[in-house]
Structure 1
């Protein structure tokens, strides 16, 4: 795998101590600039059409609410106290000694969200959360836990962002997902970082029988470096996992972001779909599907466009350990076909308009089963980012 100096982070150069930022009862009272940054991360400060909201600023939680029955939203510290340390979930999927970043989160926990559904609850309105950084050289440690109980359904929009003008910061995050028998989790991440921000999430999900985990990841703004490789284990029969990602790397950005699905039970299915564009930055896109049971099927698809000189390093990896497992992949990195541009220009578009139209179509994340609101939010982000590219 391609390595880069930007993957190295000196944690000691960041400030992990700071004053309590205080609570915010009504998010609409935030500054216009902060509200815009949150909106670009998928968070609506009006909280309309939301079943809950969690906002964490720097090293402390500032807003936490749940407004629909059947779903509980707490700060992780509150949850640890309320549920005697969450012995079934806290650092049970992620190894706290995995690396220096997980150790830092374990040793100095600032906060994070705990979200859990009740058994059988169908939470139609999404829960929204944002991990927000205000101030230069701020270091943030968060631990998130999501529990989708049996036969329940949950949608989450989670955004990560820095306030306007902030360039340099460090975000460290541990996330653990537990989807119980017959549960369904749709988890959509929209990141809105800064040009010198380093991001090191460590994520593991465990899916039981008949469980469904759908992960959507959108990163279209400048960032110094990201190192992300979430893994989901399908441990129960008929479990399903899907990763969909849209990544754009402008000049100066280094993004090492992929995903891994482990098919550990019969009749499980996994799919990884990645769309990447470089306009001068570097993208490393690993994808790994492991088949340990039969019958089981997995498919990996990675497609990239180089619009300006940059690097896209696609790394599709399939690993089968039993006879009869079905795994496939397709990967392609290239440029926009000239005939496609000429086709649209012949119908009245200029070259930039034609190119922008093709790019938006390439990045389209039309995911089956995604709530209309989430789909519209992703499409809006792609539209606005496409306009900025051209």
Structure 2
């Protein structure tokens, strides 16, 4: 651990490659403690309501649950055989520091945000699917930032062992009275041979919350990943750029991003490195700006022949103040590759609006119908029950055009 701490200290002043810089000293370090609860039923009502807004219904059957309030894990439980859910501090003690996994994918000195997470007591979740284990009901986690102006730090480890199947929904949220805060999240995924992981992250932050997730994924042969990110409510600034390494034959990764920005600055993207024959990856983004600034980045790196990769970003601008900047990048390093990208930014068709308005909808209602349809991306690798749940979340949002 001493080497990790030393590298982190040296990086405390290191700005991130992308996104506006955040002054860490503006945010509080000390979080108020919360009591652990014995069951999901005892989770405070305000947390349950906030979790429901990001798709984490604690009333439905779940395969396991992790709830964190500020820096305190209050629930960590599994109801599925072969699936382990622990808070990360407990996992580090139980598994001798998680030597094969802890800070192995995300560099601790990547930037000031990873360094800051490393230099404070660990919080976050440890999810593990043992060999051949499969989740029937999804694991659900809620990272709840309830203290105004707090710097919430999270470090998550997800391990899907050979032949396992893991479905996870993570909701990150603040209650209505918390508008300002900082969320730093480090997540490291290890998806082993033939394992399948679907991971859906839904953000619902206050208007003055700044968000800096740092994610890396390592995939072995035959592994599959469906990584889905949804942000439909404003944050002050968001910057995330997960990286996946496909290091075994036939590994498949799919990134799906849905963004709706009334205001704020969202800088999102992903990088996928294809290192083995038969690997494939796609990254699809749907972005709507109603006044916010959206930057979408995508990079595919083909290192060997016989790999396929596709980038796609389509955006709608519904306000004179809106901005969408799409930056696709293909990096082919040998022959025998199949790599492509597609990008488009436009506006809603007047014909579509007129058609719906002629059938009795107001302009805002018609715009909302069109925007929901536009953002309803077909997400690969999800059970139908999860697809239905994501559609329900979309229907709860008030999506409409700007002035």
TM-score normalised by the chain length of structure 2: 0.92
> How far apart, in 2, do the equivalents of 1:146 and 1:4 lie?
25
Residue 389 of structure 2 corresponds to residue 373 of structure 1: no
Equivalent in the alignment of 1:362: 374
Equivalent in the alignment of 1:128: 140
Residue 247 of structure 2 corresponds to residue 235 of structure 1: yes
Per-residue CA distance 1:171-205 (angstroms, 9 max, x = gap): 11110000000000000001110000000111000
Equivalent in the alignment of 2:49: 36
CA contact (8 A) 2:47 2:144 kept: no
What runs of 5+ residues in structure 2 fail to find an aligned partner? 1-15
Per-residue CA distance 1:137-172 (angstroms, 9 max, x = gap): 111111000000001100000010112210011111
Equivalent in the alignment of 1:281: 292
Per-residue CA distance 1:27-75 (angstroms, 9 max, x = gap): 34444433221111121223x3211000111111111111110100011
Post-superposition shift, 1:345?
Answer: 3.1
Partner SS state of residue 343, structure 1:
helix
Residue 44 of structure 2 corresponds to residue 23 of structure 1: no
Per-residue CA distance 1:246-275 (angstroms, 9 max, x = gap): 001112x11001111111111100000000
Instruction: Quickly say closer, same or farther: Cα 1:4–1:204, change in 2 above 3 A.
Output: closer
CA contact (8 A) 1:33 1:164 kept: no
> How far apart, in 2, do the equivalents of 1:220 and 1:386 lie?
9
> How far apart, in 1, do the equivalents of 2:281 and 2:183 lie?
29
Equivalent in the alignment of 2:302: 291
Q: Using the TM superposition, name which of 23-32 and 330-339 deviates more.
A: 23-32
Post-superposition shift, 1:119?
Answer: 0.4
Instruction: Quickly say closer, same or farther: Cα 1:327–1:5, change in 2 above 3 A.
Output: closer
Post-superposition shift, 1:313?
Answer: 0.5
Partner SS state of residue 287, structure 2:
strand
Partner SS state of residue 258, structure 1:
strand
> How far apart, in 2, do the equivalents of 1:131 and 1:214 lie?
21
Post-superposition shift, 1:349?
Answer: 3.4
What runs of 5+ residues in structure 1 fail to find an aligned partner? none
Per-residue CA distance 1:210-259 (angstroms, 9 max, x = gap): 000110111001100001000100000000000001001112x1100111
> How far apart, in 2, do the equivalents of 1:263 and 1:304 lie?
27
Equivalent in the alignment of 2:6: none
CA contact (8 A) 1:152 1:182 kept: yes
Superposition pairs of residues 154-165 of structure 1, within 5 angstroms: 154-165=166-177
Alignment RMSD: 1.8
Residue 159 of structure 2 corresponds to residue 141 of structure 1: no
Instruction: Quickly say closer, same or farther: Cα 1:57–1:110, change in 2 above 3 A.
Output: farther
Equivalent in the alignment of 1:300: 311
Instruction: Quickly say closer, same or farther: Cα 1:311–1:208, change in 2 above 3 A.
Output: same
Equivalenced residue count is 386
Q: Using the TM superposition, name which of 126-135 and 236-245 deviates more.
A: 126-135
Partner SS state of residue 147, structure 1:
strand
Equivalent in the alignment of 1:328: 340
Residue 269 of structure 2 corresponds to residue 258 of structure 1: yes
> How far apart, in 2, do the equivalents of 1:190 and 1:140 lie?
17
> How far apart, in 2, do the equivalents of 1:243 and 1:335 lie?
24
> How far apart, in 2, do the equivalents of 1:297 and 1:116 lie?
29
Of residues 28, 51, 55, the one that matches 2:63 is 51
> How far apart, in 1, do the equivalents of 2:19 and 2:189 lie?
28
TM-score normalised by the chain length of structure 1: 0.95
Equivalent in the alignment of 2:7: none
Of residues 223, 233, 245, the one that matches 1:211 is 223
